[in-house]
Amino acid sequence: MGTDSGSWLVRHLVLTYPQYRVVCFDKLDYCATMNNHSILDSQPNFSFFQGDVASPADVTACLEQYKVDTIFHFAAQSHVDLSFGNSYGFTATNVYGTHVMLECAKAAQIRRFVHVSTDEVYGEVDDDSEDLMESSILAPTNPYAASKAAAEMLVNAYWKSFKLPVMIARSNNVYGPHQYPESKYSFRDASYGSIGNAPGSKSAANTVLEVIPKFTCLLQRGKKVVLHGDGKHTRRYLFAGDAADAFDTILHKGLIGQIYNIGSADEISNLTLCSRLLKEFGLSESDDWIAHSQDRPFNDRRYAVNGQKLCDLGWQQKTPFAKGLKTTVDWYRQYGEQWWGNIDNILGTFPEIKSPPLVPEHKMRGNVDSVLKEERNAMRGPQPTSVNGVHKASDEIAKTAHLNGEISKADT
């Protein structure tokens, strides 16, 4: 399991709904680590299945073994920079992989299939334009976003042709602890998998804004942060705990055949983000900590989605950006480097990606074990309560589960 909202949702579902069996299905690609779900190994309602979303045999075996009835399909190649140089891989995973998932889901008579997409499928949004609704035209501008838009076409086709019970979620950028520290400005659907519901399910790691952990790791090492272009591009930031709440809301209240934007109110430029990170480290902008590099072949200046449709189902963004950023930076300063092992190769401006999965080295095992033991103890707090018919994680768990970041109070 990688990082991002996928792993957050896995932990949220396992701990909040003990009556559900949650199965994490993951390829364990370069951006994945078993550390992200080790806390759940002792939970009776959690299982892990290693497999490739592009393998019909792997997917079918998992669905049949656990009698899966619900899928969250987070899996995708999602590093925008890499999509400019290796676009075939993005088509293979994001388009063909989604096709495999849909065909296997149809054969297994899945009752719910939630396809996790991205706000990037809409393309660039002008500064003076209104936030885009779910019915807006898709106009992706990079190979990654194009592959996600193509995947959505398949999802819609299986809904229309075969009545496969699908829903689509398009999120703003998700950030938080447990992310692999790559340089990317998009929703991360890392490695492979999905998440499900009782009696069996499958899940993977998806999503998130890796620029925050990457820059945090660079500043921790006393190095400059490097921005693409002028740094005036803006993105909207959503804390991973709030994203998990949103997916829970879609799972339990969403309507089959519908699309839901998961929108954030926190729109921040990359330059402003750098300034806030420097402030977290007690550093001054005047000390020349920010450098600029050549921009991508094309870099969308802004994304903006209207998330009112999801809010009408009861979801709300709860975590202010300042609070979420501090939680994230504090976690990476304490655990980030040992959590992922050697990350030297991905801290460059245009990172070098190596295929072996990055799991902490053997000599770090003792430290990681102690961290996970501390997290397990923290999670033995009060059980989730029910508020207005919707289960929510208790405030006590939210306060003590520091390795998960701060779980939002509204784990709907």
Residue from 156, 300, 247 nearest 148 by CA: 156
Residue 27 contacts residue 228 (beta carbons within 8 Å): no
Q: Confirm whether 119 is a catalytic residue.
A: yes
Lookup result for tokens 């939630």? 114
Residue 151 contacts residue 90 (beta carbons within 8 Å): no
From the candidates 4, 69, 81, 119, give the one annotated as an active-site residue: 119
Q: Confirm whether 17 is a catalytic residue.
A: no
Q: Confirm whether 285 is a catalytic residue.
A: no
Residue from 275, 216, 263, 213 nearest 236 by CA: 263
Residue 193 contacts residue 53 (beta carbons within 8 Å): yes
From the candidates 17, 20, 30, 144, give the one annotated as an active-site residue: 144
From the candidates 52, 58, 120, 406, give the one annotated as an active-site residue: 120
* Cα 400 to Cα 410: distance, rounded to the nearest angstrom: 16
The vertex-314 CA angle with 202 and 5, nearest 5°, equals 35
Q: What 3-state class would DSSP assign to 403?
A: helix
CB atoms within 10 A of CB 357: 17
Total residue length of the chain:
412
Q: Note the helical H segments in 193-346.
A: 211-220, 240-253, 270-280, 308-311, 321-331, 337-340
* Cα 148 to Cα 243: distance, rounded to the nearest angstrom: 19
- Which residues face 235 on adjacent strands? 268
Residue 41: phi and psi, rounded to 5, are: -60, -30
Lookup result for tokens 């779980």? 407
* Cα 207 to Cα 8: distance, rounded to the nearest angstrom: 10
Question: Catalytic residue numbers?
Answer: 119-120, 144
